[in-house]
Amino acid sequence: MLKTQDKVTALPARVGLETLKGLAYLGGLARLTGESAYLTLASPLKGQRLRAQRAFHQAMDVGVGAVPIVSLISFFVGLIIALQSAYELRRLGAIEFVANAVAISIIRELGPLITAIIVIGRSGSAFAAEIGTMKVTEEVDALKTMAISPVAFLVAPKFLAMLVMVPCLTIWADAMGVLGGCLFGVTGADFTVLSYLQATRDALVLHDISTGLVKSALFAVVITAVGCHEGFSTGAGAEEVGHSTTEAVVKSIFMVIAVDLVFTALFYLTNG
């Protein structure tokens, strides 16, 4: 009986402790994001150095390196959506609306989300592993000894590269998803390429495109912040680098989905 009462008493304390840890984690992400944004956007205006070469190198790795896998997955997802939506639309005698279904689902939601998940797997995990390894080998401490800010040297170039390249990758993913749907439209729904693209254009409004791009920019900020924060939080030992990398991927996916939910609801309410 006493053990049961102890468990009941400990439950609120544990919930409170986990809540405080979550808020502290979000505070750490906010601080890192704010410092990175300041170093990226405000420092050049004050004549301070912006490490453009490192940012360009990161952009090539984050953006150009991800183009093949983003293209392949987005194309197949667009084709799958066309096949799945055509199954129901044909029963309703509305197969001509398959282009609308593909365009809206890809541009508004799946294009930014697929891109974010791919970037998490490729770059978010790499950020955590890179900084975590530097933390274990005391290279981060060496930067501080040389009066070099680790955030300015390691995080700000990644922040700038992600902020530019993730929306660009999202636009490319949107285009490949639409082409995937176009393949089905031409081969299985009596569209021509021109008529399918015309139907896609008619189905979209500027709000649909801007929604996806705003989400992609927010996803870029979240992925960079979580990956770098997990890297800086790495403990001693090589095993901790793997742990930080895993945590970066899991937490990034969760936070990207949470941000997606929040801003989808906001866009829905403001548009309706």
Q: What is the pLDDT of residues 130-167, one digit of tens each?
A: 999 888 888 888 888 888 888 888 888 899 999 999 99
Q: Say what the pTM is.
A: 0.88
49 is written with which tokens? 């150095």
Contacts of 175 (CB under 8 A, 6+ apart): none
Distance CA 134, CA 84 (A): 47
Residue 3: pLDDT band with limits 50, 70, 90: low
235 — alpha (psi -120 to 50), left (phi > 0) or beta? beta
How many residues make up the chain in this entry?
272
Q: With 0-12 CB in 10 A as exposed, 13-18 as middle and 19+ as buried, what is 45?
A: exposed
Cβ distance 131 to 231 under 8 Å? yes
DSSP state, 169?
H
pLDDT tens digits, one per residue of 11-64: 777 877 888 888 888 888 889 888 888 888 776 666 566 677 888 888 888 888
**Is residue 17 classed as helix, strand or coil in its secondary structure?**
helix
